[in-house]
Structure 1
Amino acid sequence: MTSNDPTAYTVFTLPTHVDAPLSPFWIVLRENPYFYLQQTKRQKNAIVRNVLGTLQNVLDTKQSPFRIIYRRPNGTCLQIAAAENEKQAEITWQWIQEHLVPALDILENSEKEAFVVTKVNSIVTRRDAGTDEISMDEKVRNASRSFRQTFNVPVTERLVNCKSVRSPRWVDELSRFFSVTGLPY
């Protein structure tokens, strides 16, 4: 794992406020004075696991299993990265240790949050220039990401319109549309 691995840049997200950084749903894998690396806690009870999974799917709130959050001086936190696997999370954690922590050690407390937010926003903006990922509307970002993953659409394509549908039937309806029109999906 090198600090120059481009994988580190792929997991950064726009900084988002986290209500309960230390909750029963997350395990802290690593921490330093500025950041936590967390993994979702796997529920042992199959019924609870299925209910939580169903709720996440219905509410379209499925979270990545790993996240990195910045610890603000006032005790609240900002999520700055979300990874789908442990390797991505570890590479990003190493990058943060090598590039952000030394700078934070020399900054005044009043400057630290602005530095982290600016640095992460810069990474996300450069990486996602021309995509929906830089939208300030979290629902548009989630819908765009889901649409791209479901239909294997390249990141360079933009989602023009977004309508929230509560039923999972939308996938069937879109699949039917593509098969009737003959468009590849």
Structure 2
Amino acid sequence: MSAEINLNDLRRRMNGAIENLKNEFAGLRTGRASVHLLDPVVVDAYGSKMPLNQVATVSTPESRLISVQIWDKTMVAATEKAIRNAGLGLNPVTDGQTLRIPIPELNEERRAELTKVAGKYAEQARIAIRNVRRDGMDTIKRLEKDSEISQDEQKNYSDQIQKLTDEMIKDVDATTEIKEKEIMQV
């Protein structure tokens, strides 16, 4: 096993956690309608959980309104429930097979709630990055135990993995800070 490939794989996996965080943040909007606002919504459909965009078409006909055109009329109630329970503070209005979702003005309390949600997303990303670090550390410990690398090499790889982890956590913190400022901006 080449250690360089191992470090590149760890970097790729950590970057995946950061990309996921950025996608989650795309769903946290600040008072303007966006089709990405509903990206985190998962609907109980046909015996499994499906992303909203796989059961409906999402559009923004106005800057303060999201329209969700549901393809199967039997999914209207499940979709409405999923949007209400997504923790986004949205209340859809059913109109046949269409859900109209007005985007409320963000008050100070709602902004604080959204920053807490952003903080939860960031913590999930940090945990994912730490899990990747743990996998890498376990691998180099096993390689050292199996005498495939020396103790010095293990220490060197361990330091590199920790440096990479610290760098990625710093990136998560910076991304989170930017998003929180965007949310709190009036």
Question: TM-score scaled by structure 2?
Answer: 0.26
Q: Whose helix fraction is larger, Structure 1's or Structure 2's?
A: 2
Question: TM-score scaled by structure 1?
Answer: 0.26
